[in-house]
Chain A
Amino acid sequence: MDKQRRKFLKIAGASVVAGIGAPVLVKLSSSPALASSDGGHAPVAAGHAPMPDAHGGGHVEEAPEGVRLGMVIDMRKIADTPALLDKAISACVNAHNVPQFPDKKNEIKWIWKAPFENVFTDKSASHTSKRVADTQFVALCNHCDDPPCVRACPTQATFKLAKNGIVAMDFHRCIGCRFCMAACPYGARSFNWQDPRPYIKKYNKEFPSRMRGVVEKCNFCGERLALGQEPACVEACKGTGAILFGDLNDAGSEVRAVLDKEFTIQRKPTLGTKPSVFYIV
């Protein structure tokens, strides 16, 4: 299983960098029909909406089409071991040269802790269980299937990668208009109000630092996937099952196995953005 996932990540990652699909991906993404007729991948599961309605509304699950990377966060495990979250966050900070500003005004956040009522603003927070109330939840970019930030960006500096569904950024094209920050319903985007470099604690040469005047956010570790590695936060929680990562459209993937088994929720599903991050509460 692990070996298979490694292989998949490698392929998915390679396609991020090269911009070309490996044969298996071409097969997956060429048409939904092909994907479902492929022996290795189960047909569209019963209960999923028929394809023409796939983009009809927030509650309708879209038909599998191509690779769509996603995440399942098991809050039960994080509640048991809250230190996991700190590990995941610092792994992300170190991997991406995320600056640590002391003040809230300049804050740059890719993945961060927040209470349930802040992460799930549309879920009732009255009479929540003690565990939920006492646990710090986690927020990050949802890599929406229908991202409002991409719709708003006037320069295509933020865009959705067709190969794997990652909502990525081009720091060199961004003009810093911050339209994407107004558009994101999840508060997932940060702006470099000033030069971030003096605030990078430990510089990682493998990933570029940013300059002032551009927006940034979680990139699902596209650069690590390209090397066949898992996202930094996933790797930090390895072996615990707290954060799982994989192709939501691959019926054989680990994330799908968990999604099929557990009841999960997404953030603000009624907005029709189709988030790719799922939570087990």
Chain B
Amino acid sequence: MIEKTLKGKPAYWIWLAFLGMFMAIGVACYIRQYNFGLGMTGMSRDVSWGLYISQFTFLVGVAAGGVMLVLPYYVHNYKEFGRITILGEFLAIGAIVMCLLFIMADLGQPMRALNVVLHPTPNSMLFYDAIVLNGYLFLNILCGWVILTAERKQVKPPKWIYFFVYLSIPFAVSIHTVTAMLYCGLPGRHFWLSAIIAPRFLASAFAAGPALIVIACLVLKRVAGFDAGRKAMDKLVTIIIYASILNMFFVGLEFFVGYYSNIPSHKHALEYLFFGLEHHGHVYNNLVPFMWAFVILAFGSIALLATPLARKKNDFYLGLGCVGLFLAFWLDKGIGFVLAGFVPTPLHEITEYIPTANELGVTIGVWATGFFVVTVLYKIAIGVEHEVE
């Protein structure tokens, strides 16, 4: 099936070359970082995780979002998702590739990464995260490939594969739960120390992941003549809307706990994110525009997607709503959540973080790599679909 990636229209090659260019920029920036150290980034003693880890956190969600297709199709036998479930699985592969690359980019000593395996440490959440992420990657490659091969041969998939398909469902939940546990089990980081982090992560994941799949379907419809079916898309949008509303509800609960209890440490990070935090006469508010953009985009997109205009008739508004939501949750989790955890520092000082150009280069390179992987995998999936037809 791999041969399908080698034949395509000029647009396909131009797109890959476009991504390849950013991948090359990413590699060049990473080499600079590798030779100098993580001092090439905007991270500091006080804000010791930055864009890399926040992108990782967001993309774990995108990967987990694929389960919103797998679960209805395989568990509830929702046939409409038959054509696009493979897209969810392949998106998960691309997202996890990005996650692993971001982790590697963030390590101070990447050559020692295997120490996590050589010295397994069950009390560290990172140990479990490595297990579930690699496990989920393996499951998606296995299930995607076996089922696609069966489809190509026009036979039923082998029975044994269903064991792995069902196994991938709890794995999808676990990757984002364990990722939340990286944060929510740390004493002294009040913003992260909240039991609602894991549910909130899952809610935004189940919105952002499927939103990206809808966008992908709309693109594939135009460029590859692949129609996911209006009914499937409509069901996806329903899932996206509910998951989005849940996420916004959970964010609201954080506000209630912080502001009604009036405990300063529970309010600091929220104040910093949404209103700016005053400290020794200086107001720190770097992230405020991002967070209000998140709120406006999220509610605006939910409203848009809920209208019949986006749902029944107009692909443009449907795409716009999904892009809006995807961006909203990227701002929420891919920017705000991780960075705000470091404000204030354990000694109640405030240090703000601004990524460097080199760091942005690496970040864009990793995103381009992920899109490259997804493009190639989708090319295979669509190629098989067309072949069968």
Contact = CB atoms under 8 A, between A and B. Distances in A.
Q: Do A and B come from one complex?
A: yes
Interface of A: 104-109, 114, 117-119, 121, 139, 148, 150-157, 173-179, 181-187, 190-195, 212-215, 268, 271-273
Contacts of A195: 37
Interface of B: 36-39, 41, 43-46, 48-49, 103, 106-110, 112-113, 115-116, 118-119, 121, 123-127, 130, 182-183, 186-189, 341-342, 345-349, 351
A192 B38 CA distance: 8
Q: Which 4 A-B pairs have the closest CB atoms?
A: A176-B108, A185-B188, A213-B108, A193-B39
Contact of A173 (B44, B103, B107, B115): B115
Contacts, number: 144
| SS class, residues of chain B in contact with chain A | loop
B37 A193 contact: yes
Given A105-B45, A191-B45, A212-B37, A117 B109 contact: no
A272 B186 CA distance: 12
Contact of A174 (B108, B118, B187): B108
Contacts of A157: 115
B347 A152 contact: no
B182 A179 contact: yes
B365 to A, nearest CB: 20
A273 B187 contact: yes
A68 to B, nearest CB: 20
B116 A178 contact: no
B341 A175 contact: no
A118 B349 contact: yes
Contacts of A271: 187-188
A178 B341 CA distance: 14
B115 A155 contact: yes
A182 B107 contact: no
Contacts of B49: 178, 182
Nearest to B114: A175
B44 A155 contact: no
Contacts of A194: 36-39
A187 B341 CA distance: 13
A155 B116 contact: yes
Contacts of A190: 45
